[in-house]
A = this chain, B = another copy of it.
């Protein structure tokens, strides 16, 4: 704790002293966190490639400073003192204290040398993966992945022990989705797994073919359509291109990107904008008065809730027939497409974005098959963290899982266990949040429909602002006042249930 922090803290007379000192300390940490975000945005969107080495060193230096501040032993004492003041704190302050305690406890649970070894090994492993993937050469990256898994297991065990979690894998889940525990997720995933493979087969058998859309329009036109959507949604912020789409920033400076990969024209350009804008609106509508504090969502918003915001816009809204009843006309106008073109009717566009197909690649998967990709990965990473699956057996286990869930086996590891960067960059425990996000989104959208019975008409008219405002009032503006589970319950009236997701998929893909 710096002297300045304590001075400033004692100046704030209404706020208990130790808590106020924590706020001051975390204000600085919040600024550093936002700066790291900007450095990373710039690297992906603006920086010439020749700046990569220097930028890496800059980010490493700032990350180190941030880590030192986050693990400052004086914070431990302050946390104890602030806990004694807890009955004098407001709800938001108590939420903030809970978030601060979590950040400090998790950061200090892992010894510095282990944390450093993890970062270094993850960087090395990801670098090797970058060429191992195109070469489809799992053997090249296996030794580093083994080492990384070994360090990750140590780290997970240390966190689980310090935080009193039931098992090490919980520490990994908790990294991306605060408070998530395997014992809560397992029944949901398991019930979904029982139902989904057959449902996928039914959906494929039933679906009507759609007409192809022809060549892609110029990038400028696709960006213009994206901007039209963003304006309708009331998104205020930058909109750029990068090689992987992402969102960044908060409040008055939110930034999203989309990408253009070439190939035949799909409506990915629209769905990606909706997805990233869903993330962006969350960050834009976080509570401004808490924008330098953990409770304001600066450090650690749950990925499962964040992803749900993307999924509400992409899956629930953007893949509905009503949405295409709205967008077909502006899309035809911007792309210069004749009104009689049968490929650009709302119905054909709707069929296009909802085509179900079994495939090897997660990021290209449709809404119905996507969860199977996640179920596969969740099972494998749980086994790896538990010590029940070794890295050398991963490719075979992957292919067995594909056969079991999809009935197809990838012809090489490039399209198999090498396809995703996550594990190779040390991100075990991340995958489930994608599926939890989709499930949360279904439940949230059903709650939104109850609150706004005219939601279908609003979507058909492109009137998205009431939807955005409902999300703001019921989710975004509450920041991290409560834990993610409670966020979902507050917004929807219940904890996450599988039924809502199944109902949604059934209505869209099985009841046709």
A51 beta carbon closer than 8 Å to chain B: yes
A91 beta carbon closer than 8 Å to chain B: no
Residue from B32, B39, B53, B253 within 8 A of A50 (CB atoms): B253
A249 beta carbon closer than 8 Å to chain B: yes
> Which chain A residues numbered 209 to 241 have a C-beta less than 8 Å away from chain B?
236-238
Q: Is the CB of B58 within 8 A of A31?
A: yes
> Which chain A residues numbered 284 to 334 have a C-beta less than 8 Å away from chain B?
291-292
Tell me which residues across on chain B come within 8 A of A337, comparing CB atoms. Answer: none
A67 to chain B, nearest CB (A): 11
A342 beta carbon closer than 8 Å to chain B: no
A164 to chain B, nearest CB (A): 31
Tell me which residues across on chain B come within 8 A of A2, comparing CB atoms. Answer: 68
How far does the alpha carbon of A28 sit from the alpha carbon of B68 in the complex, in Å?
14
A199 to chain B, nearest CB (A): 44
How far does the alpha carbon of A132 sit from the alpha carbon of B68 in the complex, in Å?
44
Interface size class of A (residues with CB under 8 A): 35 or more
Tell me which residues across on chain B come within 8 A of A27, comparing CB atoms. Answer: 61
Q: Is the CB of A39 within 8 A of B35?
A: yes
Closest to A34 in B: B58
> Which chain A residues numbered 46 to 67 have a C-beta less than 8 Å away from chain B?
46-48, 50-55, 57-58, 61-62, 64-65
How far does the alpha carbon of A57 sit from the alpha carbon of B54 in the complex, in Å?
24
A251 beta carbon closer than 8 Å to chain B: yes
How far does the alpha carbon of A4 sit from the alpha carbon of B250 in the complex, in Å?
33
Q: Is the CB of A54 within 8 A of B236?
A: no
Query: Do A291 and B38 form a contact, CB below 8 Å, given A61-B31, A253-B47?
Result: no
Query: Do A253 and B31 form a contact, CB below 8 Å, given A46-B46, A46-B238, A65-B65?
Result: no
Q: Is the CB of B253 within 8 A of A62?
A: no
How far does the alpha carbon of A268 sit from the alpha carbon of B253 in the complex, in Å?
32
Tell me which residues across on chain B come within 8 A of A48, comparing CB atoms. Answer: 236-238, 252-253
How far does the alpha carbon of A58 sit from the alpha carbon of B31 in the complex, in Å?
5
How far does the alpha carbon of A291 sit from the alpha carbon of B31 in the complex, in Å?
26
Q: Is the CB of B58 within 8 A of A35?
A: yes
A42 beta carbon closer than 8 Å to chain B: yes
Residue from B50, B61, B249 within 8 A of A28 (CB atoms): B61
A293 to chain B, nearest CB (A): 13
Tell me which residues across on chain B come within 8 A of A28, comparing CB atoms. Answer: 61, 64-65
Q: Is the CB of A50 within 8 A of B292?
A: no
How far does the alpha carbon of A2 sit from the alpha carbon of B35 in the complex, in Å?
22
How far does the alpha carbon of A237 sit from the alpha carbon of B51 in the complex, in Å?
9
How far does the alpha carbon of A52 sit from the alpha carbon of B251 in the complex, in Å?
11
Q: Is the CB of A291 within 8 A of B62?
A: no
Residue among A31, A52, A236, A249 having the largest count of chain B Cβ atoms under 10 Å? A31
What would be 22 A-B contacts, judged by CB atoms less than 8 Å apart? A4-B64, A28-B61, A28-B64, A31-B57, A35-B35, A35-B39, A35-B58, A38-B38, A38-B58, A42-B46, A48-B236, A48-B237, A48-B253, A50-B236, A50-B253, A51-B251, A51-B253, A54-B250, A54-B253, A54-B291, A57-B292, A65-B65
Sort A-B residue pairs by CB-CB distance and give the 3 closest, nearest first.
Answer: A51-B253, A50-B252, A31-B61
4 additional A-B residue pairs with CB within 8 Å, beyond A34-B58, A47-B253, A65-B65: A38-B58, A46-B46, A48-B253, A54-B251
